[in-house]
Structures are given as C-alpha cells and as structure tokens.
C-alpha cells in the first residue's frame, strides 16, 4: 500500500463504527466472489451492542448478486438487513424476506445499477469494496467480480475498502470497467472486446477507511455430477450438434450458462468432445468448468461479471494464471455490461438457464414457490433469455423425491413468458417450442419433459381444457393451481 494511504488503515471494528443506523450499503460481490469478508461481522457485533442499548439498528444492502455467508448470512442472522437488492440465494436471507423482516426488490441484474444511477432507487450512502489495490489518486483495482461495484463507488458519498492481498497477483488487469450513459452505444462487438479501464476511478477523499485482509472467497464445492444433470447436458449438446448440421447455427456464437451443476456438465462435456470447436463465453458467472475448456485448449475467451471459483478452482487459476497466460483469456465486467441486452442481442448468445417450474404452455417461473415464497431471484436469466439468439431452460422433471413436478398446468409466478422461452430440457428430453401454438407446445412439453408419473395428470388438465375451454390457450382457471394446492395440503403434487 502507498504510504499516503496508511493513515486510513484501521481495524474492522473501527471501520464498522463509521457505519450509521439506516445506512444504505452498496457492496461488491457477485455469486460468492469479491464480497467484503470482515466488515459485516464487525457490523453485526456493533449492531448487537446498539440493540442492547435499545437502538433498532438496520441497514439496506445492495450487492451485485449473491454473496458469501460471511456477509449475507451474518447480516441476516443479526436481524439488521432491512432491505436487500438485487439478488440473493442464502437461506437465512430468504427466510427473513419471506417472514416480512427484510424487504427484497428482485430485479434483472442488468437493470439495478442504472436504476440507482438514475435515482429511482435510493443511492447507496456508503460503498464497501473488496479490492486488490488502491492508489493515492483513487484508482481501485477490484477482486473477483465487476458486479455493480463501479456504480456503487461512483454514487456513494463514502467508501470503505477491504484491501485483500489474496488475489492481487492474479486479478489485477482482468477487469474492463465501463459505465454506460443513459443512452449511447456499448461498443462490444466480440466477447473479448475491452472498452474501458482495468480499475475504477474514485475521488480519494471519499475513502474513509481501509481494512487490510488476506482472505479467499469461500465457495462450496459443487455436488458430484448427477445423472439428471448429465442427461440434460447430453440433450443440449445433441441438439446444438443437430442444428449445426442442419446449417441453422453458426459455430462461433458465444455461450452464457447459468450457475450450477448442469452448466458445469455442459462445459465439461464440450471440453471432452474432440469435435467441439473453440468456445467463447459471454456469460454472467465464470465457474470451475472453464478449466476443463482451458486445459483442452478450447477457450477463445471468457467474459463475465465474476469468477466464481471453488477453492479448488481458485488454486487452479492461481497456479496457471501466469504460466499459461490464461489471465489474458478472462474479462471481468460490470454486470450491466456482462448482461447487457444490446450486446447479448448483437453477439447472438446461446443461453442456458435453470427453471424452478415451467408450465405446459411455455411459461417459466424462476423465483417463487407456490406463487408467494421467494427463492433466489430472477438474476440474469431474463437479461439473457429475452435477448439471446437461442435459449434453453433446464430443470429436472421432479424435485423432493418426486413430490414436486417441475412441469405444472400453470406456473404460480411468471418470470419468462411464452414469448421468450424457446427450448425446455429435463432429464426426460428436450422440447423445441419455437414456432408452435400453445396447444402444440403443451403436447410436446408433456411428452418430452414431464416426468412419466405426472404425465397423466398434465394430460388430463390439457384434455379438460380442450373440451371445455377456449382453443387458443385452453386453461381452466379453477383447476390451474390444483398441483400447487395439493402440494400445500398434502405435501405432494401427485394424487
């Protein structure tokens, strides 16, 4: 650290004392990467003391996306998270939201920074950022995520830095910081184009504290690849190969893949396939599976809002970043750029996202259980599904040992409409819905994607509508949620 900045160095406890009641914290962090790791605990301790003194202490928390337990978990359990946006996936946060203790605003990831800069959502009062380096003239080098950090640093009045030496060696230089204007072009014409700077410029007077740490992001290892994920990946790759063979899909389109096992399986299988052409990613989250592609010498470039590596992935990255010049194959961007509708449309992205439930007419629910209980949030799935060239929604056909069918007569909450969904995939098969009427979609989804144990009930619903309802989208409103009602009453959607 530069000597000029030493005067701002303090302990986490001292820095936490600078956080006022009611403050809006705009923090770094996206899918478990690049979030502040020690301030939140110190803040929770401070809140505990203040509560003992009778103060109802609370803060609002703005992030990039989901973050680690050291932040989301700690603040939710402390009961001081009054508001949260734009995405979360921590059980304690979710519970707090569904109990009405935390207000949650579920936004497209590409929308949040712009809405804040425009002033429609209150601006953060204090930015807290996990950073590799900071210079006396206010250049901040971010760690493992672009996220919304540049906009939070720009709009907040005060900044606290967790100066984290853990990633300085591997992550300085991979960022491309570009904050778009309200209107105007985002001049990315190829997944790897760099259009900004590799640091965020702030007024150094706004930096009120620096807390020194040396801590890795803590991401859990993925579950072992299961048969369902493997089957879904297989259908997708088979379909892509077929489309290419038919001359309907160029080889050089970049991929976006959602977070989790199936996305990992798709990329892992691409790496192993000797026929697979080199791959570019224009995605949201870069996960461990990227190393399979790298090691197979098939990576053109990986652009994303974060590198969300497990500990083993981080070790791989660290070991190889310089030796193999891999660092030059990564670009980390603000999430309004990684998920930018303009760029996604222009690049012709092939998009893969997970559905929580889907209905027979082609609508997808990504967020709510039984229409009311929030799970994680829409994340970037809408940014990509709506603007991609080719989009998959993936889900195992059943959950909870068969008690829940992912395919239902009518979704209990719609995040992606029939107009935006293209291809559904479960471990049962793949349904290409493009250019089909609602009735044809329903027949195909029941046949290809539903679990055999739920097909008769779904077919019965469709048949009833075909006899008694209107023949464009033959719903029957007083039976549309029977699956959900049975689940709430009996614990199973089945009969």
Judge contact between 188 and 195, C-beta under 8 A: yes
Rule CB under 8 A: which of 346-375 touch a second copy? Answer: 346-348, 363, 368, 370-374
Per-position DSSP letters for 272-287, written without gaps between them: H-TTPPPEEEE-SEE-
Q: Of 437, 453, 456, 463, which lies in the binding site for a second copy, with binding defined by CB under 8 A? A: 437
Minimal distance, residue 415 CB to a second copy, in Å: 6
Q: Is 82 in the site for a second copy (CB under 8 A)?
A: no
Active site residue 70: no
Contact region with a second copy (CB under 8 A), list: 228-236, 314-322, 456-464, 475-483:
475-483
Cα 333 from Cα 47, distance rounded (Å): 34
Q: What angle separates helix 438-448 from helix 455-468, to the nearest 10 degrees?
A: 160
Q: Is 471 in the site for a second copy (CB under 8 A)?
A: yes
Q: Is 474 in the site for a second copy (CB under 8 A)?
A: yes
x/- contact string, 319-348, with a second copy (CB under 8 A)? Answer: ---------------------xxx--xxxx
Backbone φ and ψ of 399, nearest 5°:
-135, 170
Q: For residues 314 and 365, which CB has a smaller minimum distance to a second copy in the complex?
A: 365
Q: Is 22 in the site for a second copy (CB under 8 A)?
A: no
Q: Is 78 in the site for a second copy (CB under 8 A)?
A: no
Rule CB under 8 A: which of 36-75 touch a second copy? Answer: none
Minimal distance, residue 407 CB to a second copy, in Å: 17
Residue 460, C-beta contacts closer than 8 angstroms, at least 6 positions apart? none
Cα 288 from Cα 330, distance rounded (Å): 13
Cα 491 from Cα 110, distance rounded (Å): 36
Minimal distance, residue 238 CB to a second copy, in Å: 17
Q: Is 179 in the site for a second copy (CB under 8 A)?
A: no
Q: Of 436, 443, 455, 464, which lies in the binding site for a second copy, with binding defined by CB under 8 A? A: 436
Contact region with a second copy (CB under 8 A), list: 26-34, 218-226, 378-386, 396-404:
378-386
Q: Is 293 in the site for a second copy (CB under 8 A)?
A: no
Cα 311 from Cα 216, distance rounded (Å): 8
Cα 304 from Cα 147, distance rounded (Å): 9
Cα 424 from Cα 35, distance rounded (Å): 34
Cα 174 from Cα 194, distance rounded (Å): 10
Q: Of 301, 410, 431, 457, which lies in the binding site for a second copy, with binding defined by CB under 8 A? A: 410
How many residues are present in the chain? 495
Collapsing DSSP states into helix, strand and coil, what is residue 141? strand
Rule CB under 8 A: which of 238-277 touch a second copy? Answer: 246, 248, 250, 253
Q: Is the peptide bond before 86 cis (omega within 30 degrees of 0)?
A: yes
Check 23, 133, 162, 284 and give the catalytic one: 284
Collapsing DSSP states into helix, strand and coil, what is residue 408? strand
Judge contact between 430 and 393, C-beta under 8 A: no
Total residues in contact with a second copy, by rule CB under 8 A: 78
Q: Is 123 in the site for a second copy (CB under 8 A)?
A: no
Rule CB under 8 A: which of 411-430 touch a second copy? Answer: 412-420
Which of the residues are catalytic? Answer: 284
């Amino acid at each position: 650290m530069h000597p000029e900045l030493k005067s701002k160095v303090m302990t986490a406890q001292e820095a936490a004392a600078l956080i006022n009641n009611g403050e809006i914290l705009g923090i770094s962090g996206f899918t478990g990467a690049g979030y502040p790791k020690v301030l939140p605990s110190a803040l929770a301790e401070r809140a505990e003391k203040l509560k003992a003194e009778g103060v109802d202490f609370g803060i609002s928390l703005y992030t990039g996306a989901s973050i680690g337990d050291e932040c989301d978990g700690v603040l939710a359990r402390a009961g001081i998270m009054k508001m949260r946006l734009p995405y979360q996936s921590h059980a304690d946060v979710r519970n707090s939201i569904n109990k009405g203790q935390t207000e949650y605003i579920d936004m497209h990831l590409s929308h949040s920074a712009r809405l804040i800069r425009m002033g429609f959502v209150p601006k953060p009062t204090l930015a807290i950022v996990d950073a590799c380096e900071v210079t006396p003239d206010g250049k901040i080098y971010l760690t493992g995520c672009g996220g919304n950090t540049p906009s939070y640093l720009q709009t907040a009045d005060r900044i606290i830095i967790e100066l984290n030496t853990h990633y300085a060696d591997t992550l300085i230089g991979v960022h491309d910081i570009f904050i778009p204007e309200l209107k105007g072009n985002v001049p990315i014409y190829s997944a790897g184009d760099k259009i900004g700077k590799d640091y965020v410029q702030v007024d150094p007077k706004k930096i009120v504290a620096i807390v020194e740490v040396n801590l890795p992001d803590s991401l859990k290892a993925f579950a072992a690849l299961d048969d369902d994920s493997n089957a879904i990946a297989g259908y997708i790759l088979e379909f892509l190969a077929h489309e290419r063979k038919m001359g309907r899909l160029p080889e050089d389109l970049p991929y976006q893949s959602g977070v989790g096992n199936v996305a990992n399986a798709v990329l892992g299988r691409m790496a192993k396939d000797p026929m697979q052409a080199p791959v570019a990613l224009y995605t949201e989250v870069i996960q461990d599976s990227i190393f399979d592609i790298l090691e197979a010498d098939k990576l053109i470039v990986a652009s994303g809002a974060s590198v969300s590596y497990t500990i083993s992935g981080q070790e791989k990255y660290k070991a190889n970043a310089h030796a193999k010049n891999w660092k030059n194959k990564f670009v980390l961007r603000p999430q309004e750029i990684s998920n930018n509708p303009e760029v996604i449309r222009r690049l012709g992205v092939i998009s893969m996202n997970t559905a929580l439930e889907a209905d027979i007419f082609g609508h997808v629910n990504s967020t709510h259980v039984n229409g009311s209980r929030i799970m994680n949030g829409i994340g970037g799935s809408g940014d990509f599904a709506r603007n991609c060239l080719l989009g998959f929604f993936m889900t195992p056909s059943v959950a909870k040992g068969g008690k829940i069918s992912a395919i239902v007569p009518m979704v209990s909450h719609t995040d992606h409409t029939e107009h935006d969904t293209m291809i559904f995939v479960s471990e049962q098969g793949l349904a290409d819905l493009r250019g089909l009427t609602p009735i044809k979609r329903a027949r195909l989804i029941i046949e290809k994607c539903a679990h055999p144990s739920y097909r008769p009930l779904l077919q019965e619903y469709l048949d009833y509508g075909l006899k008694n309802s209107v023949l464009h989208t033959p719903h029957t409103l007083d039976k549309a949620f029977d699956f959900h009602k049975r689940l709430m009453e009996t614990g199973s959607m089945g009969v």
